[in-house]
Structure 1
Amino acid sequence: MLGWALTFLIIALIAAALGFGGIAGASAGIAQILFFVFLILFVVSLVARVVRG
């Protein structure tokens, strides 16, 4: 999941450098959503590990 977020972030940076504002904005938005989903899943897995012992 984190790999996909980094991929979309790189796409956003390249698109922004080339002047494609719409594609850059969309890719950055997708990267941000995937990153937050990754963080939520990471926290849930940490809590589950602590509860299991």
Structure 2
Amino acid sequence: MTLSAALLPLQFSGEFLYWALIFFVLAIVAGLAGFRGVAGLSMEIARILVLVFLVLAVIALIL
């Protein structure tokens, strides 16, 4: 970690929501195509990314 990165306040972007949306759409398409394993895995990844987003958003609001 560089000194300038350590001095910057906690900045948060919506990258997690973007990737969660990508995996959610992938899960829907895979589910419609009949690939249940891929759909389930994609939904699980999307769920984890949304949870990480929420945790980071709460931390950013507190700090």
TM norm. shorter chain > 0.5: yes
Q: Which has the higher helix share?
A: 1
- The sequence identity of aligned pairs, in percent, is 48
Structure 2 residue runs without a partner (length 5+) = 1-15
TM-score, with length taken from structure 1: 0.89
> What is the Cα deviation at residue 4 of structure 1?
0.3
Query: What RMSD, in angstroms, separates the aligned Cα atoms of the two structures?
Result: 0.4
Structure 1 residue runs without a partner (length 5+) = 49-53
Q: How far apart are the structure 2 equivalents of 1:41 and 1:2?
A: 11
- The one-letter amino acid of 2:42's match is S
1:11-53 deviations in Å (ceiling 9; x for gaps): 00000011000000000000000000000000000000xxxxx
After the TM superposition, which segments of 4 or more aligned residues of structure 1 sit over 4 Å from their partners?
Answer: none
Alignment: residue pair count: 48
